[in-house]
Amino acid sequence: MTRCEINVTPLIDVMLVLLILFMVVTPTATRGLGAGLPEKGDGKGESALVVSVGPAGFTLAGAVPLNADDLAARLRDVLLSRTDRTVFVKAEADVSYERVVEAIDVARGSGALRIGIVGQQ
């Protein structure tokens, strides 16, 4: 009388290989966003550079509304004289997502190294 049984040895071998594979790949697959806090200053340094996005256009440091080309030129001039090339983008509630992305693109194209987004309070 012969018994028909499943040979589980190859199944265990495959499972061990998959376990080792996932153990090797998992630490390299984890990614996150780099978040940096501003350094503590003496209060005499540069103030934060904020680009506000509103329905009328973009504003830089509370000035008159600008279009994208004027904003790029002003940002380029301001960023050339600064050591900290961080730009914060602040959007009003009734502004479309495309306008915010456009402001981020303009800031990046003007020479900003780091771009932060200011949320609503």
Q: What is the DSSP letter of 91?
A: E
Least-confidence region, from 58-67, 82-91, 110-119: 58-67
Instruction: Inform me whether the pLDDT recorded for 39 exceeds 70.
Output: no
Residue 72 corresponds to which tokens in the numbers above? Answer: 């790029």
Model confidence at 50: pLDDT above 60? yes
Q: Is residue 43 part of a domain?
A: no
Q: Map residue 88 onto helix, strand or coil.
A: strand
Asked if 79 and 116 count as a contact pair (C-beta separation under 8 A), the reply is no
State which residues form the domain around 114: 63-118
Q: Domain for residue 74, yes or no? A: yes
DSSP characters over 42-74? -SSSPPPEEEEEETTEEEETT-S-B-HHHHHHH
Q: What is the pLDDT of residue 121?
A: 64
**pLDDT, position 27:** 75
In a domain, 28, yes or no: no
In angstroms, rounded to a whole number, what is the distance separating the alpha carbons of residues 94 and 89?
Answer: 15
Q: Which of 16-20, 39-43, 78-82 has the highest mean pLDDT?
A: 16-20
Residue 83 in any domain: the answer is: yes
Give the pLDDT band of residue 61 (cuts 50, 70, 90).
confident
How many domains does one find in the chain?
Answer: 1
Residue 71 within a domain: yes
- The answer to whether the predicted template modeling score (pTM) of the entire model surpasses 0.75 is no
Average pLDDT over residues 14-18: 95
